[in-house]
Protein backbone atom coordinates (compact mmCIF):
# COMPACT_ATOMS: atom_id res chain seq x y z
CA UNK A 1 0.00 0.00 0.00
CA UNK A 2 2.79 2.33 0.95
CA UNK A 3 4.70 1.42 -2.29
CA UNK A 4 1.70 2.28 -4.39
CA UNK A 5 1.42 5.62 -2.63
CA UNK A 6 5.11 6.42 -3.38
CA UNK A 7 4.62 5.60 -7.09
CA UNK A 8 1.65 7.93 -7.27
CA UNK A 9 3.66 10.72 -5.70
CA UNK A 10 6.50 10.20 -8.19
CA UNK A 11 4.11 10.30 -11.12
CA UNK A 12 2.52 13.48 -9.84
CA UNK A 13 5.95 15.07 -9.31
CA UNK A 14 7.05 14.13 -12.83
CA UNK A 15 3.89 15.58 -14.27
CA UNK A 16 4.42 18.78 -12.30
CA UNK A 17 8.02 19.04 -13.53
CA UNK A 18 6.95 18.44 -17.14
CA UNK A 19 4.16 20.97 -16.86
CA UNK A 20 6.52 23.47 -15.25
CA UNK A 21 9.19 22.92 -17.92
CA UNK A 22 6.61 23.28 -20.63
CA UNK A 23 5.26 26.43 -19.05
CA UNK A 24 8.80 27.82 -18.83
CA UNK A 25 9.44 27.04 -22.48
CA UNK A 26 6.13 28.61 -23.41
CA UNK A 27 6.98 31.66 -21.37
CA UNK A 28 10.45 31.86 -23.00
CA UNK A 29 8.93 31.73 -26.50
CA UNK A 30 9.82 29.72 -29.63
CA UNK A 31 13.36 28.73 -30.45
CA UNK A 32 14.86 30.88 -33.24
CA UNK A 33 18.25 31.08 -34.91
CA UNK A 34 20.26 34.24 -35.25
CA UNK A 35 23.69 35.77 -35.52
CA UNK A 36 26.17 37.30 -33.13
CA UNK A 37 27.24 40.68 -34.58
CA UNK A 38 31.01 41.15 -34.84
CA UNK A 39 33.64 43.06 -36.83
CA UNK A 40 35.15 41.23 -39.79
CA UNK A 41 37.12 42.13 -42.98
CA UNK A 42 34.64 43.05 -45.70
CA UNK A 43 35.10 43.50 -49.44
CA UNK A 44 32.35 44.66 -51.76
CA UNK A 45 32.62 43.67 -55.42
CA UNK A 46 30.53 43.98 -58.52
CA UNK A 47 30.66 40.80 -60.55
CA UNK A 48 29.84 40.45 -64.23
CA UNK A 49 30.60 38.55 -67.39
CA UNK A 50 32.33 40.32 -70.25
CA UNK A 51 34.45 39.77 -73.30
CA UNK A 52 37.94 40.65 -74.47
CA UNK A 53 38.17 43.44 -77.03
CA UNK A 54 41.35 44.80 -78.61
CA UNK A 55 41.35 48.58 -78.65
CA UNK A 56 42.19 48.78 -82.38
CA UNK A 57 41.69 46.57 -85.41
CA UNK A 58 42.92 46.80 -88.97
CA UNK A 59 41.22 45.49 -92.09
CA UNK A 60 43.60 44.57 -94.90
CA UNK A 61 42.71 44.21 -98.58
CA UNK A 62 44.23 44.32 -102.05
CA UNK A 63 44.74 47.52 -104.03
CA UNK A 64 44.57 45.72 -107.37
CA UNK A 65 42.42 43.08 -109.05
CA UNK A 66 44.31 39.81 -109.34
CA UNK A 67 44.21 36.08 -108.61
CA UNK A 68 45.64 34.79 -105.31
CA UNK A 69 48.67 32.56 -105.81
CA UNK A 70 49.69 32.00 -102.19
CA UNK A 71 48.29 32.70 -98.69
CA UNK A 72 50.99 32.82 -96.02
CA UNK A 73 49.08 33.40 -92.76
CA UNK A 74 46.00 32.12 -91.01
CA UNK A 75 43.92 32.93 -87.93
CA UNK A 76 45.96 33.28 -84.77
CA UNK A 77 49.25 34.09 -86.49
CA UNK A 78 51.21 37.04 -85.11
CA UNK A 79 52.54 39.36 -87.80
CA UNK A 80 55.00 42.25 -87.86
CA UNK A 81 55.06 45.34 -90.11
CA UNK A 82 56.14 44.35 -93.62
CA UNK A 83 55.14 40.69 -93.40
CA UNK A 84 53.61 39.26 -96.59
CA UNK A 85 50.08 37.97 -96.06
CA UNK A 86 49.05 37.09 -99.63
CA UNK A 87 50.87 36.81 -102.97
CA UNK A 88 48.91 37.70 -106.13
CA UNK A 89 49.59 36.72 -109.73
CA UNK A 90 52.05 39.21 -111.21
CA UNK A 91 53.04 37.84 -114.66
CA UNK A 92 51.72 40.76 -116.76
CA UNK A 93 52.98 43.46 -114.42
CA UNK A 94 56.37 41.79 -114.10
CA UNK A 95 56.69 41.72 -117.91
CA UNK A 96 55.90 45.43 -118.12
CA UNK A 97 58.49 46.14 -115.44
CA UNK A 98 61.13 44.25 -117.45
CA UNK A 99 60.23 46.20 -120.59
CA UNK A 100 60.48 49.51 -118.74
CA UNK A 101 63.84 48.51 -117.24
CA UNK A 102 65.13 47.56 -120.71
CA UNK A 103 63.93 50.86 -122.18
CA UNK A 104 65.67 52.81 -119.44
CA UNK A 105 68.89 50.83 -119.85
CA UNK A 106 68.81 51.34 -123.64
CA UNK A 107 68.23 55.04 -123.09
CA UNK A 108 71.14 55.35 -120.65
CA UNK A 109 73.64 53.29 -122.66
CA UNK A 110 72.67 54.19 -126.26
CA UNK A 111 70.56 57.31 -126.61
CA UNK A 112 72.68 59.40 -124.28
CA UNK A 113 75.92 58.35 -125.98
CA UNK A 114 74.45 59.01 -129.41
CA UNK A 115 73.33 62.48 -128.38
CA UNK A 116 76.77 63.28 -127.01
CA UNK A 117 78.45 62.08 -130.19
CA UNK A 118 76.03 64.11 -132.34
CA UNK A 119 76.77 67.22 -130.28
CA UNK A 120 80.51 66.77 -130.63
CA UNK A 121 80.14 66.25 -134.40
CA UNK A 122 78.00 69.35 -134.75
CA UNK A 123 80.46 71.43 -132.76
CA UNK A 124 83.31 70.15 -134.94
CA UNK A 125 81.43 71.01 -138.12
CA UNK A 126 80.67 74.47 -136.74
CA UNK A 127 84.33 75.06 -136.01
CA UNK A 128 85.19 73.96 -139.56
CA UNK A 129 82.55 76.28 -140.96
CA UNK A 130 83.94 79.21 -139.01
CA UNK A 131 87.44 78.57 -140.31
CA UNK A 132 86.10 78.38 -143.85
CA UNK A 133 84.29 81.69 -143.46
CA UNK A 134 87.42 83.35 -142.12
CA UNK A 135 89.52 82.01 -145.00
CA UNK A 136 87.05 83.16 -147.68
CA UNK A 137 86.71 86.59 -146.12
CA UNK A 138 90.46 87.00 -146.38
CA UNK A 139 90.41 85.99 -150.04
CA UNK A 140 87.42 88.18 -150.79
CA UNK A 141 89.21 91.13 -149.17
CA UNK A 142 92.04 90.70 -151.67
CA UNK A 143 89.46 90.32 -154.47
CA UNK A 144 90.57 86.76 -154.99
CA UNK A 145 87.09 85.28 -154.23
CA UNK A 146 83.64 86.19 -155.32
CA UNK A 147 81.05 87.58 -152.97
CA UNK A 148 78.77 84.65 -153.78
CA UNK A 149 81.37 82.13 -152.56
CA UNK A 150 81.70 84.06 -149.28
CA UNK A 151 77.96 84.11 -148.81
CA UNK A 152 77.82 80.33 -149.31
CA UNK A 153 80.41 79.84 -146.60
CA UNK A 154 78.53 82.11 -144.21
CA UNK A 155 75.29 80.22 -144.92
CA UNK A 156 77.06 76.93 -144.15
CA UNK A 157 78.25 78.44 -140.88
CA UNK A 158 74.68 79.40 -139.92
CA UNK A 159 73.48 75.89 -140.66
CA UNK A 160 76.32 74.43 -138.57
CA UNK A 161 75.43 76.76 -135.69
CA UNK A 162 71.79 75.67 -135.88
CA UNK A 163 72.87 72.03 -135.90
CA UNK A 164 74.94 72.60 -132.74
CA UNK A 165 72.00 74.19 -130.93
CA UNK A 166 69.77 71.30 -131.96
CA UNK A 167 72.34 68.73 -130.84
CA UNK A 168 72.85 70.60 -127.56
CA UNK A 169 69.11 70.57 -126.88
CA UNK A 170 69.00 66.84 -127.61
CA UNK A 171 71.94 66.23 -125.27
CA UNK A 172 70.23 68.22 -122.54
CA UNK A 173 67.02 66.26 -123.05
CA UNK A 174 68.82 62.97 -122.44
CA UNK A 175 70.91 64.28 -119.53
CA UNK A 176 70.54 62.38 -116.19
CA UNK A 177 67.25 63.23 -114.45
CA UNK A 178 65.97 65.33 -117.32
CA UNK A 179 63.30 65.02 -119.96
CA UNK A 180 62.73 61.58 -121.39
CA UNK A 181 64.83 59.79 -118.77
CA UNK A 182 62.66 61.26 -116.02
CA UNK A 183 59.58 60.01 -117.81
CA UNK A 184 61.07 56.53 -118.22
CA UNK A 185 62.03 56.41 -114.55
CA UNK A 186 58.59 57.57 -113.44
CA UNK A 187 56.94 54.89 -115.56
CA UNK A 188 59.30 52.25 -114.18
CA UNK A 189 58.63 53.40 -110.58
CA UNK A 190 54.87 53.23 -111.19
CA UNK A 191 55.14 49.72 -112.61
CA UNK A 192 57.34 48.58 -109.73
CA UNK A 193 54.83 50.02 -107.25
CA UNK A 194 52.11 48.11 -109.07
CA UNK A 195 54.22 44.97 -108.89
CA UNK A 196 54.77 45.51 -105.14
CA UNK A 197 51.01 45.52 -104.69
CA UNK A 198 50.93 41.88 -105.81
CA UNK A 199 52.36 41.11 -102.36
CA UNK A 200 49.76 42.16 -99.81
CA UNK A 201 51.70 43.19 -96.70
CA UNK A 202 50.73 44.41 -93.27
CA UNK A 203 51.94 47.80 -92.15
CA UNK A 204 51.17 47.14 -88.48
CA UNK A 205 51.95 44.51 -85.87
CA UNK A 206 49.13 42.36 -84.56
CA UNK A 207 47.33 39.04 -84.59
CA UNK A 208 45.26 37.68 -87.46
CA UNK A 209 41.64 37.44 -86.32
CA UNK A 210 39.92 36.52 -89.57
CA UNK A 211 40.93 35.53 -93.09
CA UNK A 212 38.60 35.64 -96.07
CA UNK A 213 40.85 34.53 -98.92
CA UNK A 214 42.28 31.32 -100.35
CA UNK A 215 44.63 30.53 -103.27
CA UNK A 216 42.75 30.79 -106.54
CA UNK A 217 40.39 33.53 -105.36
CA UNK A 218 39.99 36.62 -107.49
CA UNK A 219 40.41 39.63 -105.21
CA UNK A 220 39.44 43.21 -105.91
CA UNK A 221 39.97 46.56 -104.18
CA UNK A 222 37.49 47.07 -101.35
CA UNK A 223 37.30 43.43 -100.33
CA UNK A 224 38.53 42.68 -96.78
CA UNK A 225 41.02 39.82 -96.88
CA UNK A 226 42.21 39.85 -93.25
CA UNK A 227 41.24 41.46 -89.95
CA UNK A 228 44.08 42.12 -87.51
CA UNK A 229 43.93 42.85 -83.81
CA UNK A 230 46.65 45.44 -83.39
CA UNK A 231 49.34 44.84 -80.84
CA UNK A 232 48.82 47.11 -77.86
CA UNK A 233 45.92 48.00 -75.61
CA UNK A 234 43.37 45.34 -74.68
CA UNK A 235 40.09 46.02 -72.90
CA UNK A 236 37.40 44.02 -71.15
CA UNK A 237 33.85 45.14 -71.98
CA UNK A 238 31.33 44.26 -69.26
CA UNK A 239 27.62 45.12 -69.18
CA UNK A 240 26.55 45.60 -65.56
CA UNK A 241 23.10 46.09 -64.09
CA UNK A 242 22.38 49.81 -63.86
CA UNK A 243 21.62 49.45 -60.14
CA UNK A 244 25.37 48.98 -59.61
CA UNK A 245 26.15 52.42 -61.05
CA UNK A 246 26.43 54.23 -57.67
CA UNK A 247 29.13 51.76 -56.59
CA UNK A 248 31.29 52.09 -59.72
CA UNK A 249 34.13 54.56 -60.19
CA UNK A 250 37.07 55.02 -62.53
CA UNK A 251 40.40 53.40 -61.62
CA UNK A 252 38.76 50.73 -59.45
CA UNK A 253 40.80 47.54 -59.51
CA UNK A 254 39.39 44.26 -60.71
CA UNK A 255 40.25 40.58 -60.85
CA UNK A 256 39.54 38.87 -64.18
CA UNK A 257 39.27 35.16 -64.88
CA UNK A 258 39.00 33.77 -68.40
CA UNK A 259 36.54 30.91 -68.71
CA UNK A 260 39.13 28.98 -70.73
CA UNK A 261 41.90 29.53 -68.13
CA UNK A 262 40.21 29.57 -64.69
CA UNK A 263 43.47 28.95 -62.86
CA UNK A 264 45.18 32.04 -64.34
CA UNK A 265 43.46 35.20 -63.04
CA UNK A 266 44.89 38.58 -64.01
CA UNK A 267 44.38 42.20 -62.89
CA UNK A 268 42.54 45.01 -64.66
CA UNK A 269 41.23 48.48 -63.81
CA UNK A 270 38.13 50.45 -64.73
CA UNK A 271 38.88 53.10 -67.36
CA UNK A 272 35.43 53.86 -68.79
CA UNK A 273 31.85 53.96 -67.53
CA UNK A 274 29.28 54.61 -70.24
CA UNK A 275 27.37 57.89 -69.85
CA UNK A 276 24.14 56.21 -70.98
CA UNK A 277 22.11 53.14 -70.10
CA UNK A 278 21.08 50.42 -72.52
CA UNK A 279 17.28 50.80 -72.42
CA UNK A 280 16.65 47.27 -73.67
CA UNK A 281 18.72 45.45 -71.05
CA UNK A 282 18.93 48.04 -68.28
CA UNK A 283 22.73 47.79 -68.21
CA UNK A 284 25.64 50.19 -68.22
CA UNK A 285 28.77 49.32 -70.20
CA UNK A 286 32.02 49.31 -68.25
CA UNK A 287 35.45 48.97 -69.84
CA UNK A 288 38.53 47.74 -68.04
CA UNK A 289 42.10 48.13 -69.21
CA UNK A 290 44.36 45.06 -69.03
CA UNK A 291 48.05 45.73 -68.42
CA UNK A 292 50.08 43.63 -68.86
CA UNK A 293 48.11 41.53 -71.33
CA UNK A 294 48.40 37.77 -70.62
CA UNK A 295 49.75 35.76 -73.52
CA UNK A 296 46.71 33.46 -73.55
CA UNK A 297 44.16 36.22 -73.97
CA UNK A 298 42.24 36.13 -77.26
CA UNK A 299 39.84 38.49 -79.01
CA UNK A 300 36.19 37.99 -77.92
CA UNK A 301 37.20 35.57 -75.15
CA UNK A 302 34.59 35.30 -72.37
CA UNK A 303 35.78 36.39 -68.91
CA UNK A 304 34.36 36.82 -65.42
CA UNK A 305 35.14 40.14 -63.76
CA UNK A 306 35.19 41.03 -60.05
CA UNK A 307 35.41 44.80 -59.63
CA UNK A 308 36.34 45.86 -56.12
CA UNK A 309 34.02 48.74 -55.21
CA UNK A 310 34.74 48.95 -51.49
CA UNK A 311 36.92 47.46 -48.76
CA UNK A 312 36.98 47.55 -44.98
CA UNK A 313 39.72 45.91 -42.97
CA UNK A 314 37.28 45.71 -40.06
CA UNK A 315 33.57 46.33 -40.50
CA UNK A 316 30.58 45.60 -38.28
CA UNK A 317 28.75 43.19 -40.58
CA UNK A 318 25.31 41.61 -40.54
CA UNK A 319 24.18 38.72 -42.80
CA UNK A 320 21.70 39.86 -45.41
CA UNK A 321 19.03 37.38 -44.35
CA UNK A 322 18.78 39.28 -41.06
CA UNK A 323 17.71 42.46 -42.87
CA UNK A 324 14.18 43.51 -43.69
CA UNK A 325 12.41 46.63 -44.98
CA UNK A 326 15.46 47.78 -46.91
CA UNK A 327 15.04 51.29 -48.28
CA UNK A 328 18.18 52.78 -49.81
CA UNK A 329 20.85 52.73 -47.11
CA UNK A 330 18.43 51.93 -44.30
CA UNK A 331 16.91 48.65 -43.11
CA UNK A 332 15.45 46.95 -40.06
CA UNK A 333 16.66 44.00 -38.00
CA UNK A 334 15.07 41.94 -35.26
CA UNK A 335 17.32 42.58 -32.27
CA UNK A 336 17.18 40.30 -29.23
CA UNK A 337 17.37 42.09 -25.86
CA UNK A 338 16.69 40.29 -22.57
CA UNK A 339 15.05 37.47 -24.47
CA UNK A 340 12.58 39.80 -26.19
CA UNK A 341 12.35 40.90 -29.82
CA UNK A 342 13.00 44.53 -30.68
CA UNK A 343 12.77 46.04 -34.14
CA UNK A 344 15.85 48.17 -34.74
CA UNK A 345 16.48 50.59 -37.65
CA UNK A 346 20.03 50.38 -38.97
CA UNK A 347 22.11 52.38 -41.47
CA UNK A 348 24.02 50.32 -44.06
CA UNK A 349 27.42 50.91 -45.63
CA UNK A 350 29.06 48.39 -47.94
CA UNK A 351 26.47 45.96 -49.19
CA UNK A 352 27.14 42.58 -50.67
CA UNK A 353 25.42 39.42 -51.71
CA UNK A 354 26.15 37.73 -48.38
CA UNK A 355 27.00 40.38 -45.80
CA UNK A 356 26.38 44.10 -45.36
CA UNK A 357 28.17 46.70 -43.27
CA UNK A 358 26.21 48.34 -40.47
CA UNK A 359 27.21 51.95 -39.79
CA UNK A 360 24.60 52.80 -37.17
CA UNK A 361 22.07 50.92 -35.07
CA UNK A 362 24.05 47.89 -33.87
CA UNK A 363 27.10 47.19 -31.76
CA UNK A 364 29.55 44.32 -31.57
CA UNK A 365 28.07 41.52 -29.47
CA UNK A 366 24.44 42.26 -30.39
CA UNK A 367 22.28 39.32 -31.42
CA UNK A 368 19.95 39.59 -34.40
CA UNK A 369 17.51 37.03 -35.69
CA UNK A 370 17.96 35.24 -38.99
CA UNK A 371 15.12 35.09 -41.49
CA UNK A 372 13.98 38.51 -40.37
CA UNK A 373 10.75 38.28 -42.32
CA UNK A 374 9.32 35.73 -39.85
CA UNK A 375 6.10 36.86 -38.17
CA UNK A 376 7.33 38.08 -34.80
CA UNK A 377 6.00 41.10 -33.00
CA UNK A 378 7.71 43.70 -30.87
CA UNK A 379 8.23 42.32 -27.37
CA UNK A 380 7.81 38.63 -28.25
CA UNK A 381 9.95 36.31 -26.19
CA UNK A 382 12.17 33.90 -28.11
CA UNK A 383 14.91 31.43 -27.33
CA UNK A 384 18.10 32.28 -29.26
CA UNK A 385 20.32 29.70 -30.98
CA UNK A 386 23.42 31.06 -32.69
CA UNK A 387 23.84 30.30 -36.41
CA UNK A 388 27.20 30.37 -38.14
CA UNK A 389 27.46 33.58 -40.19
CA UNK A 390 28.18 33.12 -43.93
CA UNK A 391 31.70 33.72 -45.17
CA UNK A 392 32.18 37.35 -46.15
CA UNK A 393 35.65 37.35 -47.66
CA UNK A 394 38.82 35.29 -47.87
CA UNK A 395 42.30 36.02 -49.10
CA UNK A 396 41.69 34.65 -52.58
CA UNK A 397 37.96 35.05 -53.01
CA UNK A 398 35.34 37.77 -52.75
CA UNK A 399 32.12 36.35 -51.49
CA UNK A 400 30.38 39.67 -50.84
CA UNK A 401 29.39 40.19 -54.43
CA UNK A 402 26.89 42.52 -56.03
CA UNK A 403 26.19 41.17 -59.50
CA UNK A 404 23.35 40.69 -59.82
CA UNK A 405 22.56 43.27 -57.13
CA UNK A 406 20.95 42.03 -53.98
CA UNK A 407 17.28 42.94 -53.86
CA UNK A 408 16.59 43.81 -50.23
CA UNK A 409 13.05 45.00 -50.82
15 falls within a domain: no
Q: What is the DSSP letter of 139?
A: H
Mean confidence (pLDDT) of the chain: 81
Taking residues 99-115, report their average pLDDT.
72
- Residue pLDDT, tens place only, 217-248: 999 998 999 998 887 678 999 999 998 898 89
Residue 286 · residue 248 · CB < 8 Å: yes
- Whether pLDDT at 283 is above 90: yes
Q: Please give the residue range of the domain that contains residue 66.
A: 56-89+198-230
> Cα(277)–Cα(295) distance, rounded to whole angstroms?
33
- Residue pLDDT, tens place only, 332-357: 988 888 888 888 999 998 887 788 89
Same domain, 254 and 280: yes
Same domain, 74 and 222: yes
Q: List beta partners, residue 317.
A: 38, 357
8 falls within a domain: no
3 falls within a domain: no
What pTM, to 2 d.p., does this model score?
Answer: 0.51
> Cα(213)–Cα(229) distance, rounded to whole angstroms?
18
Give, in order, the Cα–Cα distances in Å from 290 to each of 256, 270, 280, 305. Answer: 9, 9, 28, 12
CATH label of the domain that carries residue 327 = 2.40.30.170
Tally of domains in the chain? 3
Give the β-pairing of 31-36 and 383-386.
parallel
What does the buried/exposed string (b/e) look like for 57-83 if buried means 16 or more CB atoms within 10 Å of the residue's CB?
eeebbbbeebebeebebeeeeebeeee
At a CB cut-off of 8 Å and minimum separation 6, what does 33 contact? 369, 370, 371, 384, 385, 386, 387
Same domain, 381 and 239: yes
Query: What pLDDT, on a 0 to 100 scale, did the predictor assign at position 255?
Result: 94
14 falls within a domain: no
Same domain, 75 and 222: yes
- Residue pLDDT, tens place only, 117-153: 777 787 887 888 788 778 878 777 777 777 787 788 7
Amino acid sequence: MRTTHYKSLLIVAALLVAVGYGALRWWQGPEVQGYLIESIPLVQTVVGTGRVVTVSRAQIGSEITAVVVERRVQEGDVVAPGDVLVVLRADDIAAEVRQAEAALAEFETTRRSQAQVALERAESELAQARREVARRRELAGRSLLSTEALEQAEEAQRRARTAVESARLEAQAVAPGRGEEAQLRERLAALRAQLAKTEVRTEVAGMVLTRNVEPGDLVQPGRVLFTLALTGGTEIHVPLDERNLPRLALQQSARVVADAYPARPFPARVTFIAPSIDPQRGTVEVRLEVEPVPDFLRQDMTVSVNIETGRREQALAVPNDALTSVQGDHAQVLLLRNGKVQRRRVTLGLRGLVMSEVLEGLSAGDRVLADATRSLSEGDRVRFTERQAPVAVSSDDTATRNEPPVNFN
